[in-house]
A and B are shown apart, each in its own frame.
Chain A
Amino acid sequence: MALRTLQVSPGFMRFMPKEYQDLVEKGPFGRKLKLSDLGTYKELLEEHPMCEGCAMAFFIRLALTALPAPEHTVILGTAGCGRLSLSQAAIPFVYGNYCDTNGVATGIKRGLALRFPDQPKDVVVMAGDGGLADIGFSQVLHGWFRQEKFTTVMLDNEVYGNTGGQESGMTKRGEVVKMAPVGKKFDKIDMIGLAKTAGVAYIARLTPTNPSRIVSTIRKAVLIAREVGPTYVQAYTSCNIEYAIPPQQVMEDARRVEKERYGFLEVMSEEAKAFLGGGEV
């Protein structure tokens, strides 16, 4: 059980920072927790340097609470805003180069499968729209075509947030952002359609308006990736800085976007459906 790796020799426990003691004693490891348990246990992620009111930070917090086995989960991120908090979570986090998340995840998943054939290890990529739909596009698609068993979560803020607001392939057509001085000339890349074509076992699109939906979606995605095949979650996580959304209006914006063009969508393969039908999630 990997939980033991967190534990400290009893004699030393009292010298550890309170934060750490809490993580060992009241963390989510090895426990089956629900969304409604939030506030009763020590979360994987607490402090982080993302912007005030950032929807992405909110989404990441909830996504982390949804992991079915955090003690056996590896998270991969890359250049972009998300890694600012992901790297501070109490979970092994891999940060390679910008573009490589899904290639590295392939190697990690396969390596862990060889070393621990009897212990499922969950691998989850969480990266920006630029990281996955532009520079990492090839690795994302090929991982899907190869049917690699890990989860890809796109933190879609429809812009390159971390480098200061440039156009990405997931920016809306017509949007005037940096490097699109006269407006973006083409539509958002249809990653959902591409995922279908590539035979992704579970595909979901959502906004952060509904916390329990975030939790159930991520949980399904991780469990299906463990047992069936690749899974993809595309989450609208607005950038309040680059799109000038006042922090108190972030949820209002998400609700509007959800209604207009980002409605909840779930696509499942027959095998994934059968798997879900057979057990609780």
Chain B
Amino acid sequence: MANTVNQRVVTPEHLLFEAPRTKAFITGSEAASEAVRRANVDIAIAYPITPQSETMERIGNLFAEGYIRDYYRAEDEVGAFSAISGASRTGVRCMTASSGPGLMRGLETIASWPGHRLPLVFLIMCRVINAPLSIQPDNLELDYMLTSGNILLHGENQQDFFDYTLAGFAISEKCEVTLPVAVAVDGFFVTHARAWVEMPSAELKLPPRDCYSEAVPMIDNENPPVRIARDAPIQKSNFISYQMHAAWQQEIHAAHERSRKWVSRYINGLVEVVNPEAETLIVASGSAVSQSREALRQAEEMGKKVGLIKVKSLRPFPTAELRAACRHAKRIIVPEFNCPGWLNREVRATLYGHSEAKIADGPRVYGGITMPTELILEWLFKSE
């Protein structure tokens, strides 16, 4: 259990932005575990599910190598997510990961993390939710995450998976945040495919968790107030308990608002905007961004100007950024890898009353189907 590997502690800013980086041609699973190698993690708890397993296997190897201080394979996702919540309460840095069906199995636990104010990082490698059984990429599970109270970042590629994972720890443990951070990528497209990823030296790591600088006391019998446990149930049926619960929920939302500046700092803005002057816009997150970049290039070859807004953070949602970027838009499409179109719904709700643009209800693929650029182009210019 001893942390045997000597790494130099540097600030998150140094690790993320200043330290020289070298390139490696690696999978998303490798990128995520390389981030964890540099994250000074105390405990990682694993439960297998495709396409997540490879990452947590690699993180197990990090434990064997001495980069992580404790690790085990749990009985199931509820067990893993519960144990992580216990570990986080004691002030150690911890992480876990899952995919579609596993995430759904543990949803009650996931949705209780924010209420317990538990800093931790939860990696999501998106996968179809049953039934029928499938292991293919489809990010429907993120719809369930949107109202879970977790901060939710959606990475486009292997590089994002590396950077957002590291950023996740830094954001999660900020005093004014003190919330779990979920970092999602689309399964297979990112986890199992290789791409160039730039990484700082593995001799560097994040500072350890500074648990006494967070918003709530630890469960360790060492820091007061000892008598007022964090988890006192507010279950009486009276107006004071209703008020307490309501205030607690409002505080989680307030913490999301306060997290904006940290999310923005550590992942370089909640959005990235390409061709901001274009009147035809794509709004996308995750792998749909990569496909949209390619569609954009093809549209340019056809002599058409198209803009792209990459939504990096789903919670907090980039409300102001999106409204500003879409002010002059005439047409917006929202390509997505899920059937109900959760991003489309978010975009419509955000832009209602703030943009004259026509927002197309698609394009969407799901069940594992890929998103050809032709489909994006067809939707972009459908109305013409």
Contact = CB atoms under 8 A, between A and B. Distances in A.
Nearest to A1: B222
Given A83-B233, A93-B231, A111 B87 contact: yes
B224 interface: yes
Nearest to B112: A97
Nearest to B72: A146
Interface in B15-47: 42-43, 45
Given A94-B219, A97-B82, A112 B226 contact: no
Contact of A92 (B70, B79, B94, B219): B219
B382 interface: no
Interface string B224-236: 1111011111000
Given A90-B227, A99-B78, A142-B75, A108 B221 contact: no
Nearest to B81: A103
Interface string B56-90: 00000000000001101011101111111111111
B94 A107 contact: yes
A113 B112 CA distance: 24
Contacts of B74: 103, 142
Contacts of A110: 43, 70, 83, 86-87
Contacts of A142: 74-75, 79
A138 interface: yes
A5 B221 contact: yes
A74 B221 contact: yes
Contacts of A6: 224, 226-227
Interface in A129-157: 138-139, 141-142, 146
A105 interface: yes
Interface in A1-46: 2, 5-6, 20, 23
B301 interface: no
Contacts of A83: 233
Given A97-B82, A103-B74, A111 B226 contact: no
Contacts of A114: 1, 42-43, 69-70, 92
Interface in B78-130: 78-92, 94, 108-109, 112, 116
A2 B85 contact: no
B237 interface: no
Contacts of A72: 221
Interface size class of A (residues with CB under 8 A): 35 or more
Given A114-B42, A138-B75, A108 B86 contact: yes
Contacts of B82: 96-97, 99-100, 103-104, 106-107, 139
Given A93-B231, A94-B229, A110-B70, A115 B91 contact: yes
B383 interface: no
Main secondary structure of the interface of A (DSSP, over half): helix
A103 B83 contact: yes
Given A97-B112, A107-B90, A115 B220 contact: yes
A158 interface: no
A5 B85 contact: no
Interface string A61-83: 00000000001111000000001
A4 to B, nearest CB: 9
B90 A2 contact: no
Contacts of B238: none
Nearest to A69: B221
A94 B86 contact: yes
Nearest to A94: B231
B87 A108 contact: yes
B183 to A, nearest CB: 20
Contacts of A109: 86
Contacts of B84: 107
30 contacts: A2-B221, A2-B226, A5-B223, A5-B224, A87-B233, A91-B226, A93-B231, A94-B89, A94-B231, A96-B112, A97-B109, A100-B85, A103-B75, A103-B80, A103-B81, A104-B82, A104-B85, A107-B83, A107-B94, A108-B90, A109-B86, A110-B43, A110-B83, A111-B87, A111-B88, A111-B89, A115-B220, A121-B220, A138-B79, A141-B75
Interface of A: 2, 5-6, 20, 23, 71-74, 83, 87, 90-97, 99-100, 103-116, 121, 138-139, 141-142, 146
By Cβ-Cβ distance, the 10 closest A-B pairs, closest first, are: A107-B86, A103-B82, A111-B90, A107-B87, A142-B75, A100-B82, A104-B86, A107-B83, A108-B86, A111-B87
